[in-house]
Amino acid sequence: MKGIRNGKVILPDGIVEDKVLVFDSSVKGLYSEEEAATLCDEIYDAEGKYVSPGFVDVHIHAYGGKDVSDGVAEDIKAMAGQILKNGVTAFCPTTMTVSIPEITAAFDACRSLKEESKTWNGAEIIGVHAEGPFINKAKKGAQNEAHILPPNAEFVLENKDILSIMTIAPEVDGMEDFIRTVTENSDVVLSVGHTCANYDETKKSIEWGVTHSTHTFNAMVGLLHRDPGTVGAVLSSDKVYCELISDTFHVHPGLYQMLYNLKKDHLVVITDCIRAAGMPEGEYVSGGLKFTVKGIECRLPDGTIAGSVLRMNHAVKNFLNHTDLPLYEVINLLSRNPAASVHAHNKGTLEIGKDADILFLDDQFEVVSVFRMGEKKF
């Protein structure tokens, strides 16, 4: 058994000091110094730092020049090692709307790595997020229109062992049958995104089984007072988890507090990182499309926004700087909520029985140490 003393332990409902967090591969609980001394063979000194649950990123395409859609297992493994240093201990490698053979190759690569990822020196693969190809061309954003297809439930069910989330446009012909078939025959989470669905169409899709919203506000119908759109439907539903790219560019930070007030434990911070994340500014290619990175902005040649270069731990600061939320509530947005949104019930908090995925964060929320399943990895 191991312990962490002298830390500010972040729990879902507050921060605890003057206790020792005891764990092996899972969290055993908080104990006094005296109790921990009898239970633990090894005790780490957090030296006053925050002790946080590991972050869970359910929407991330690439990092450090490595892209999931390339379908190269060693690249995905390298990416997992890089994002661990940003505090991500579990993730959903995310495919773009590329060809079906390319998507399948990416699924196969992730499938081949999933078991190994439970113990390697990187973030654990908890399942793939497929962003398309069953989306609306009119809201394709930075997805490649050439590879957008009609819905195919059989393709999803053939890959339900590795798929955690799929982004779909619910207004596309055949989507009611698709949504009902997928949700009745798998645990794959269906997420509305890259869509022209109006308010009523989106509400119907939620009745059929949609429970998630992909990068809310972006690539969907916005909120107007006489036409609430996709955004109005997902924000007003207590069944839908809403992703947010909190880089202060994709969505104005003035909305962060409102989004939290509406969604609370159904608000999910993501990075939506693309190949340029963790790399210098310049020109890159993702999903067959060229884009340019300058500062926090990634754009196609026509100005269309193309993913982000956000580091997960920097999202903490962005939320703290633009809301009145206490730190523990912000951490929930990066850990507890995303884990719950994809049914990763053993992840996301430092509650008893959860996987011992633990971070040491300094007062600027830089990552100092990372434990995965109780083993120190960084």
Annotated catalytic residues are: 272
**Dist. CA 343–CA 357, nearest whole Å:** 16
Name the CA radius of gyration of the chain, rounded.
20
Distances (CA, A) of 218 to 16, 175, 192, 294: 37, 21, 11, 19
- Whether the bond into 326 is cis, omega within 30 of 0: no
**Dist. CA 40–CA 281, nearest whole Å:** 47
Q: Is residue 110 classed as helix, strand or coil in its secondary structure?
A: helix
In this structure, are strands 163-168 and 128-131 parallel, antiparallel, or unpaired?
A: parallel
CB–CB of 228/222 below 8 Å? no
Nearest to 350 by CA among 85, 129, 89, 33: 89
**Dist. CA 332–CA 328, nearest whole Å:** 6
CB–CB of 128/106 below 8 Å? yes
Helices then strands, each counted (H, E), the chain: 11, 24
**Dist. CA 217–CA 221, nearest whole Å:** 7
**Dist. CA 63–CA 274, nearest whole Å:** 6
H-assigned helices in 186-326: 199-208, 229-235, 256-263, 312-322
C-alpha 41: how far from chain center: 34
